[in-house]
């Protein structure tokens, strides 16, 4: 229930809520402050129940629909330079039966390790084109989330096959063949970037 004090601040709350809605209903504290929302307004909205904290320093408008994929939204908000990768990217693209218990995130080498209380994340260090190439921007619950493309993700899975498992990688290729338009040139392009072209080629020739 919104308090009388909150009602007295309704004009400020309404202006701040409009800023939140412009950004899909979710903002980091720093984003909200840069957008002109006063800290006192932000915390009063939280205390009144208009905002809910979905992670430390990340707020969501309580009257907006529940987040469909809160883990990806939180990670995208808290780790803006990260890219969703490997098992998490496979799950997003519906290329695995695995249920990721952590959000897999690619970071550039030298980037600071994120500190999140929730959700649990697993970070991987990528360099050069292996980090920058194949990034797609997807709208998830109104938030822009950076996710590697299916083709880039398959190449990454071969590169990190000892960590994600060869069975998982082979399953992903089968699902890719069944569910996606096969882009052989793209697969080979990312395989070359990830330096797994010789390893991937026989598997692709057998399955595709």
Residue 139: give its domain's CATH number. 3.30.460
104, 88 contact by CB (below 8 A): yes
Are residue 111 and residue 159 in the same domain, yes or no? yes
Same domain flag for 76 and 39: no
> Considering the entire predicted model, what is its pTM?
0.76
Beginning with the edge strand found earlier in the chain, give each strand of the sheet holding 51-55 in spatial order: 26-28, 58-61, 51-55
Q: Which of 37, 61, 85 is the last residue of a domain?
A: 61
Q: What is the mean pLDDT of residues 188-198?
A: 95
What is the spatial distance between Cα 86 and Cα 189, in angstroms, rounded to a whole number?
17
C-alpha closest to that of 49 among 13, 77, 24, 22: 13
Judged by average pLDDT, the poorest of 91-105, 106-120, 156-170 is 106-120
Count CB atoms within 10 A of the CB of residue 108.
Answer: 15
Looking at the structure of the chain, the number of domains it has is 2
Both tokens of 91, joined, read 């799950």
Phi, psi (deg, nearest 5) at residue 127? -125, 155
How far apart are the C-alpha atoms of 184 and 11, rounded to whole Å?
55
Find the domain containing 52 and state its range: 4-61
Please check whether residues 83 and 178 belong to one and the same domain: yes
Same domain, 147 and 107: yes
Q: What pLDDT band is residue 1 in, cutting at 50, 70 and 90?
A: very low
Q: Indicate the SS3 state at residue 18.
A: helix
- Quick one: pLDDT at residue 10? 80
pLDDT of residue 8: 60
Please give the pLDDT value at position 88: 96
120 HSE (CA, 13 A, CB side): 3
| Mean pLDDT computed over 188-200 | 95
Residues 91 and 158 in one domain: yes
Q: Which residues of 116-129 are buried (b: 16+ CB within 10 A; e: fewer)?
A: beebebebbebeee
% of the chain exceeding 70 in pLDDT: 94
Residue with token string 């992903």: 172
Considering just the CA atoms, what is the radius of gyration of the chain in Å?
20
132 and 76: one domain? yes
Same-domain check for residues 203 and 108: yes
Q: What is the pLDDT of residues 123-162, one digit of tens each?
A: 999 999 999 999 999 998 888 899 999 999 999 999 999 9
For residues 60 and 25, the answer to whether their CB atoms sit within 8 Å is yes
| C-alpha torsion sign, points 65, 71, 76, 77 | positive
Instruction: State whether 89 and 192 are in the same domain.
Output: yes
Cα-flanking dihedrals φ and ψ of residue 52, to 5°? -120, 140
pLDDT digits (tens, 9 = 90+) for 6-24: 556 788 888 888 888 877 7
Which pLDDT score, from 0 to 100, does residue 175 have? 95
Give pLDDT, residue 2. Answer: 47
For residues 48 and 83, state if they share a domain: no
| The dihedral sign for the CA sequence 145, 118, 153, 123 | positive
**Is 189 found in the same domain as 128?**
yes
């Amino acid at each position: 229930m919104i308090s009388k004090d909150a009602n007295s601040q309704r004009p400020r709350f309404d202006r701040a809520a409009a800023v939140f809605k412009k950004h899909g209903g979710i903002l980091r504290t720093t984003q909200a402050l840069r957008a002109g929302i006063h800290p006192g307004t932000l915390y009063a909205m939280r205390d009144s129940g208009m905002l809910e904290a979905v992670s430390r320093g990340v707020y969501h408008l309580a009257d907006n629909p529940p987040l469909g994929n809160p883990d990806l939204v939180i990670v995208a908000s808290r780790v803006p330079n990260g890219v969703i990768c490997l098992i998490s990217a496979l799950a997003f693209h519906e290329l695995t039966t695995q249920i990721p218990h952590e959000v897999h995130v690619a970071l550039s080498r030298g980037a600071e390790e994120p500190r999140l209380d929730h959700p649990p994340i697993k970070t991987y260090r990528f360099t050069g084109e292996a980090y920058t190439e194949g990034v797609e921007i997807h709208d998830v619950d109104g938030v822009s989330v950076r996710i590697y493309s299916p083709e880039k993700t398959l190449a990454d899975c071969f590169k990190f096959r000892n960590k994600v498992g060869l069975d998982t990688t082979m399953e992903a290729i089968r699902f890719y063949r069944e569910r996606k338009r096969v882009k052989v040139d793209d697969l080979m392009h990312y395989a070359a970037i990830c330096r797994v072209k010789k390893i991937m080629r026989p598997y692709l020739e057998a399955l595709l």
